[in-house]
Amino acid sequence: MIIRPAVLADIKSIFDFIKIIAVKETNNVISLPEEFSLTMLDQEKWVKYYTENEYSLLLVAEADDKIVGVLDFKNNSKIRLSHSGEFGISILPEFQDKKIGSKMIEYLITWARSKPKLKKINLSVFESNKRAIHVYENLGFRIEGQQKNAVQIAEDVFIDLIQMGMVL
Ligand SMILES: CC(C)(COP(=O)(O)OP(=O)(O)OC[C@H]1O[C@@H](n2cnc3c(N)ncnc32)[C@H](O)[C@@H]1OP(=O)(O)O)[C@@H](O)C(=O)NCCC(=O)NCCS
């Protein structure tokens, strides 16, 4: 298994991966499959944003000749918030619980610490996602808040979002 920054040639594999995650991990991620019907040009813009911005990172994990994990981080565009940024991460179900997620986040932390401007990493996670919260706490992230009923998953079904952060 290797973890590396994404390149433009990964576009198709990344978007195929994201669509699979949106279907298989619908209980853990916000985006729905229909929200990924971007044109090729928009997909290219999306990837380029990460590969060309000094304070953004798009990571892929590869195993068995395919992408099995994706992590994306970008810092905030507002000047007074730009010392911090938020990341998202997903691993294919059959590759979960093999430490790939932890290794990708460790890569992010090392990368972020190499950028003097970056002082904090934030994230949001479904309150029900005990595995992800465990992984983040293991790596040093702390719970900073809980946004009630932040996600609506059905007509009368809501999930809280937990805010976590790590001061670098
Ligand atoms: C959350 C996720 C990124 C973690 O990556 P991963 O590679 O599966 O996790 P790791 O193998 O590095 O670590 C798993 C840890 O969680 C623990 N764990 C597994 N299931 C658990 C559960 N239900 N409750 C608590 N801990 C759990 C494992 O024991 C292990 O802990 P350890 O390191 O102390 O032994 C990955 O599982 C994933 O993509 N899940 C689906 C999408 C998602 O939830 N994304 C995050 C949205 S915020």
Q: pLDDT of 14-34, one tens digit each?
A: 999 999 999 999 999 998 888
Q: What is the pLDDT of residue 166?
A: 98
Using the predicted structure, report yes or no on whether residue 144 has a pLDDT greater than 90: yes
Predicted local confidence at residue 37, as pLDDT = 78
pLDDT band per the 50, 70, 90 thresholds, residue 101: very high
Report domain extents, the chain.
2-118
Strands 66-75 and 56-63: antiparallel
Atom in ligand 1 nearest the alpha carbon of residue 96:
8
Q: Is 90 in the pocket of ligand 1 (CB under 6 A)?
A: yes
Percent of the chain with pLDDT over 90: 91
CB 146 within 8 A of CB 153: no
The SS3 call for residue 60 is: strand
> For ligand 1, atom 14, which residue shows the shortest CA distance?
97
Q: What is the pLDDT of residue 38?
A: 83
Provide the CATH topology of domain 2-118.
Aminopeptidase (3.40.630)
Q: pLDDT of 31-76, one tens digit each?
A: 888 887 788 899 999 999 999 999 999 999 999 999 999 999 999 9
125 Cβ inside 6 Å of ligand 1: yes
Backbone angles phi, psi at 96, to 5 degrees: -75, 160
Q: CB atoms < 10 A from the CB of 69, how many? A: 24
- Which pTM was predicted? 0.97
Task: Quote the pLDDT of residue 33.
Answer: 83
Q: What is the pLDDT of residue 46?
A: 92
Place of tokens 């998202």: 88
